Amino acid sequence: MDSLIHGFHKMSIEERRNIIREFSNLSTEDMEAMDYRMDTSTAGNMIENVYTIMDYPVGIATNFRINDREYLIPMSLEEPSVIAACSNGARYARPNGFMAYSTGSYMRGEIELYDVPDPDYAAIKILQNKEKILKMANTRSKTLSNLNAGAKSIDIHYVNNELILNIIIDVADAMGANIINTMLEYVSGYIEELTGGKANLRIMSNLTTERVTYAYAKFDGKMLGAETVDRIIKANEFAKNDIYRATTHNKGIMNGIDAVLLATMNDFRAQEANSHAYASMGGYGPLTEYRKDADGNLIGSIKIPIAVGTVGGATKTSKKAMLAMKIMGIQNSNEFSNILACVGLAQNFAALRALAAEGIQKGHMKLHARNIAIAAGATGDMIEKIAAEMVSEKNISYTAATEMVKRFRDE
């Protein structure tokens, strides 16, 4: 099966489930997980002070072909039109599909050293004992050592007269936070002996300049129209030169990436910090680039640091998160990073296309009308009828919805 599914948004939930089951070869147990609700006991072991569980809707982005493989991609968020836009963005790229590449799984752990008597001498002592430091760090993880991963190199720099020691660690298919922090704390005592200084912070950095993903797509120029292609390119240039626009531009990218991370219970806060810090290196700007090829197609690309894991973490605690990973059929963290970058590119393209061609509100408010109808008290078939009437009358508001609900009930 491929991920180009005509009329998916018009199908019933049961029909969609059957397509997902067949596409991802899901078992009966997998299908039951779609209706699984985490109990408060499990939730209470995940975070502190639990009193209830938040329900977030989860939908499927269709039309994605990445590195010649078809994907259905679970996304979880509260905002209407995002999944529809993402799927539409992928449809424009389908003739050639997305290409993506991740550089690897290298992360930085930082040890902050203060009151170092002679920082330059200390730096040389650290480098002279580099192999011992790395060997000590690698005793903290047999798993990484067996994979020929783990601590690989050391980098030193100075910040406000403090000596900062960075250990570069290959975390393989893990997100990496726990093992990195464990390694840093273990070697910090030896580092203090070498330097005569005191270790303060020993913590992983969420800016992953050694763990970057590239994605590329050719969006069909004939489907878009020449004027829209040019407008999208201009819009991207606008983001390069205006930080107010660049912030919203990159927020559009994260609309898609965060939704996939939430569906799989990965740390979207870390990814937000990572992405925006990376966008700030050299002055804040857009994470995407657009140009036109000789045939009039729109060429889009994204370069973004992504640090996600496919082993450990909350993903293994939640049945629905595990199901989301299985639907995508992810084999390793690099593949997961590739998917996220392509989703971010598709989401950004879709937003720019809407802004350049018709304005962002047309499609968004049409889908938002259903939420307003529900908030006003509409139930069952009344929801679609009231939403359609508000769209037809171009009056999508809570007041209008409330009046319509009252009228429907009186009738």
Which amino acid, one-letter code, is at 241?
A: N
Q: Is the pLDDT of residue 364 over 70?
A: no
What mean pLDDT is predicted for residues 347-366? 78
- In this predicted structure, the answer to whether residue 376 has a pLDDT above a threshold of 90 is no
Q: Does pLDDT of 369 surpass 80?
A: no
The mean predicted confidence, pLDDT, of the chain is: 93
- Cβ neighbour number for residue 79 with a 10 Å cutoff: 12
Does residue 411 register a pLDDT over 80? no
- The Cα–Cα gap between 125 and 369 comes to 65
pLDDT confidence band for 359 (50 / 70 / 90): low
Q: Is the pLDDT of residue 360 over 60?
A: no
Q: What is the CA radius of gyration of the chain?
A: 24
Q: Is the CB of residue 273 less than 8 Å from the CB of residue 206? A: yes
What's the mean pLDDT in 43-62? 94
pLDDT band at residue 366 under the 50/70/90 scheme: low
Per-residue CA distances from 185 to 109, 134, 178, 204, 209 (Å)? 10, 13, 11, 11, 22
The set of catalytic residues is 79, 251, 267, 364
Q: What is the pLDDT of residue 152?
A: 97
What is the tens place of the pLDDT at every residue in 317-326?
789 999 999 9
CA distance 39 to 378: 29
Write out pLDDT tens, residues 235-287. Answer: 999 999 999 999 999 999 999 999 999 999 999 999 999 999 999 999 999 99
With a cut of 70, say whether residue 25 has pLDDT above it.
yes
pTM of the model: 0.89
* CA distances in angstroms from 257 to 41, 140, 339, 391, listed in the order given: 29, 32, 9, 29
Q: What is the DSSP pairing of strand 150-159 with strand 98-102?
A: unpaired
When pLDDT is averaged across residues 51-55 and rounded to a whole number, the result is 92
pLDDT in tens, 177-205: 999 999 999 999 999 999 999 999 999 99
pLDDT of residue 393: 76
pLDDT digits (tens, 9 = 90+) for 55-94: 999 999 999 999 999 999 999 999 989 999 999 999 999 9
pLDDT grade for 361, boundaries at 50, 70 and 90: low
Predicted confidence at residue 144, as pLDDT, reads 95
Say whether pLDDT at 330 is over 80: yes
Cα(5)–Cα(286) distance, rounded to whole angstroms?
Answer: 31
- In the chain, % of residues over pLDDT 90: 81
Above 70 in pLDDT, residue 149?
A: yes
What whole-number distance in Å separates Cα of residue 314 and Cα of residue 206?
A: 18
The residue among 249, 341, 259 whose CA lies nearest residue 64 is 341
Does the pLDDT value for residue 367 go beyond 70?
A: no
Q: For position 311, what pLDDT does the model report?
A: 86
- pLDDT value of residue 268: 96
| 390 has pLDDT over 90 | no
